[in-house]
Amino acid sequence: MAGIIQDPYGRILEYVRISVTDRCNYRCRYCMPSEGVEWIPHEEIMSYENILFLCEVFVELGVKKIRFTGGEPFVRKGFVSFLKKVREKFPGLRIAVTTNGTMLEETADRLSGLRLESVNVSLDTLDPQKFHYITVTGDIEKVIRGVDALCAEKNVPVKINTVAMKHFNDDEIRSLVGFARERDILARFIEFMPLDRDVWSQDKYISARDILSLLPDAGSWEPCDPAGRSEVSGPSRYYRNSSTGQKVGIISAVSDHFCNLCNRLRVTSTGVVRPCLFGNFGVPVIDALREKNREAVKKGILKAVAAKPRRGLTGIPGENGLCEERHMSQIGG
């Protein structure tokens, strides 16, 4: 029988984000330093077998949704076959993926039978030059072809995720909403999070409230889930355009980060269970995974849970809100 993971503040944790690799074929400027980061040697990261075992333990503990992320998950060899195994092993699990979209064109048809809850594709701009600038190595045409290949599959819900940044894409919020509308997919805008002191800056940050005011047809957007978020969807607020019916999501991870409703844990590709994105604390479970020591893995998870802070990001961004020294690509965004 499935258990339940409850933290010291009574929050039930049923959503886990697992990073399958720290590696990435992009160098997004807000995610890692432009010189890149040193990749972790392959021997130090969890094997797919380790991750399957970890999923098994999480499911036993009552986890209902697992999102696979990175780095870029599709750059890890065998990722789609791994997803297939996860689906076969856990027919009732809600499975989702976050990707930069570079490899969707060639994998979309293989994703369609996996009953994924969502594939979130990061897309910060529609301008090819700006796209290349922000990703350092990226080609937007390839990503758009990937999004379209996925949309053609019909049974894979696609979302686009945009990190909103002043002087970069604040003038493109409208066109990104239009891009999503044309494809009947969900656009979500994310506040730029202060994870890395060298990369984040206050003058690039746009609050959720300002993002809302930048949507097209300002004034026509109504909150469409009065509670602010659905049960296992995290800090997103959804808005519905009263004339077109289109929905968008705004993720106010900084200005209003809903820590009181946080239901998630993260696991890095090296098998460290992290209770909170904004903090360095984590419990390594990789040895226990390698030994298939179920009790030790559970113990590690529960140790991380016990350390989950009531509130992660404290203070005002740009003042004392910066608290992380690792890059998002290494934590698993």
Shortest separation between residue 302's beta carbon and ligand SAM, angstroms: 26
The smaller minimum CB distance to ligand SAM, of residues 57 and 259, is found at 259
The smaller minimum CB distance to ligand SF4, of residues 241 and 329, is found at 329
Of these partners, ligand SAM, ligand SF4, none, which one is at the site of residue 313 (CB under 5 to 8 Å by kind)? none
Of these partners, ligand SF4, ligand SAM, none, which one is at the site of residue 103 (CB under 5 to 8 Å by kind)? none
The smaller minimum CB distance to ligand SAM, of residues 190 and 288, is found at 190
Of these partners, ligand SF4, ligand SAM, none, which one is at the site of residue 189 (CB under 5 to 8 Å by kind)? none
Closest CA to 12 of 308, 237, 299, 285: 308
Shortest separation between residue 71's beta carbon and ligand SAM, angstroms: 6
Shortest separation between residue 43's beta carbon and ligand SF4, angstroms: 21
Of these partners, ligand SF4, ligand SAM, none, which one is at the site of residue 32 (CB under 5 to 8 Å by kind)? ligand SF4
Of these partners, ligand SF4, ligand SAM, none, which one is at the site of residue 20 (CB under 5 to 8 Å by kind)? none
Shortest separation between residue 329's beta carbon and ligand SF4, angstroms: 4
Shortest separation between residue 199's beta carbon and ligand SAM, angstroms: 7
Q: What is the 3-state secondary structure (H, E, C) of the chain?
A: CCCCCECCCCCECCEEEEECCCCCCCCCCCCCCCCCCCCCCHHHCCCHHHHHHHHHHHHHCCCCEEEEECCCHHHCCCHHHHHHHHHHHCCCCEEEEEECCCCHHHHHHHHHHHCCCEEEEECCCCCHHHHHHHHCCCCHHHHHHHHHHHHHCCCCCEEEEEEEECCCCCCCHHHHHHHHHHHCCEEEEEECCCCCCCCCCHHHECCHHHHHHHCCCCCCEEECCCCCCCCCCCCEEEEEECCCCCEEEEECCCCCCCHHHCCEEEECCCCEEECCCCCCCCEECHHHHHCCCHHHHHHHHHHHHHCCCCCCCCCCCCCCCCCCCCCHHHHCC
First-to-last alpha carbon distance for the chain, in angstroms, is: 30
Binding site for ligand SF4 (CB under 6 A): 24, 26-28, 31-32, 70-72, 100, 122, 328-329
The smaller minimum CB distance to ligand SAM, of residues 71 and 300, is found at 71
Closest CA to 233 of 65, 71, 86, 25: 65
Of these partners, ligand SAM, ligand SF4, none, which one is at the site of residue 263 (CB under 5 to 8 Å by kind)? none
Of these partners, ligand SF4, ligand SAM, none, which one is at the site of residue 192 (CB under 5 to 8 Å by kind)? ligand SAM
Of these partners, ligand SF4, ligand SAM, none, which one is at the site of residue 27 (CB under 5 to 8 Å by kind)? ligand SF4
CA distance readout (Å), 239 to 181, 222, 258: 14, 5, 17
Shortest separation between residue 94's beta carbon and ligand SF4, angstroms: 22
Angle of CA points 35, 252, 224, to nearest 5°: 135
Shortest separation between residue 141's beta carbon and ligand SF4, angstroms: 16
Shortest separation between residue 260's beta carbon and ligand SAM, angstroms: 21
The smaller minimum CB distance to ligand SAM, of residues 13 and 199, is found at 199
The smaller minimum CB distance to ligand SAM, of residues 13 and 331, is found at 331
Quote the CA–CA distance of 282 and 328 in Å, as a whole number: 15
Binding site for ligand SAM (CB under 6 A): 24, 30-31, 69-70, 72, 98-100, 122, 161, 163, 190, 192-193, 195, 328-329, 333
The smaller minimum CB distance to ligand SF4, of residues 14 and 72, is found at 72
